[in-house]
């Protein structure tokens, strides 16, 4: 298996401690950039017109793997696969971000990111409400903790 970074992410968060738990906690959400390396910029053709994107990235500063832990807002231990915690077997992250256009070649303006500046960008996909939205989805043990920023 091989992963190739297609670029990097620029955020106002210099350290892991600076990052919000999720990108929708900060209001108003700061402008961030997804910077795509020149070799991959042709893949951005026809991205205009999408309001939201899915970004996949590698959390290079995540803590070591914890399979079971107690979330800071809950009293019971939970398995990592029942959480969105960053300390995973593969520190992959997925964020749905608002796309606000380009700020130069290969520089996408996005909002709602929650990672350290310099994080490796692995992929970009258009968010499709007809495919990616599940209106009847349930949140399991997280339902009592759900808040929307």
Per-residue pLDDT at 130: 92
Question: In the structure, what pLDDT confidence band is assigned to residue 73 with cuts at 50, 70 and 90?
Answer: confident
Q: What is the 3-state secondary structure (H, E, C) of 78-116?
A: EEHHHCCCCCCCCCEEEEEEEEEEECCCCEEEEECCCCC
Q: Is the pLDDT of residue 119 over 80?
A: yes
C-beta of residue 53 within 8 angstroms of C-beta of residue 127: yes
Prediction pTM value:
0.88
- Rounded to an integer, what distance in angstroms lies between the CA atom of residue 89 and that of residue 96? 22
Backbone φ and ψ for 22, nearest 5 degrees, come out as -150, 160
Least confidently predicted of 16-25, 71-80, 132-141: 16-25
Q: Is the pLDDT of residue 2 over 90?
A: yes
Chain centroid, CA 105 distance in Å: 22
pLDDT at 149 exceeding the cut of 50: no
Its CATH architecture, for the domain 7-131, is Beta Barrel (2.40)
pLDDT attached to residue 20: 67
Domain boundaries, the chain: 7-131
pLDDT above 70 coverage of the chain, percent? 93
């Amino acid at each position: 298996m091989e992963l190739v970074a297609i670029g990097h992410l620029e955020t106002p968060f210099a350290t892991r401690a600076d990052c919000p738990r999720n990108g929708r906690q900060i209001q108003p959400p700061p402008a961030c950039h997804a910077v795509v390396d020149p070799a991959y910029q042709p893949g951005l053709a026809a991205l205009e017109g999408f309001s939201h994107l899915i970004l996949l990235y590698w959390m290079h500063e995540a803590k070591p793997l914890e399979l079971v832990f107690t979330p800071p807002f809950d009293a019971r231990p939970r398995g990592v696969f029942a959480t969105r915690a960053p300390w995973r077997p593969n520190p992959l992250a997925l964020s749905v971000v608002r796309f606000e256009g380009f700020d130069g070649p290969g520089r996408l303006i996005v909002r709602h990111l929650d990672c350290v500046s310099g994080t490796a960008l692995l992929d970009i996909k258009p968010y499709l409400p007809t495919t990616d939205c599940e209106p009847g989805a349930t949140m399991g043990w997280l339902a009592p903790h759900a808040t929307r920023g």
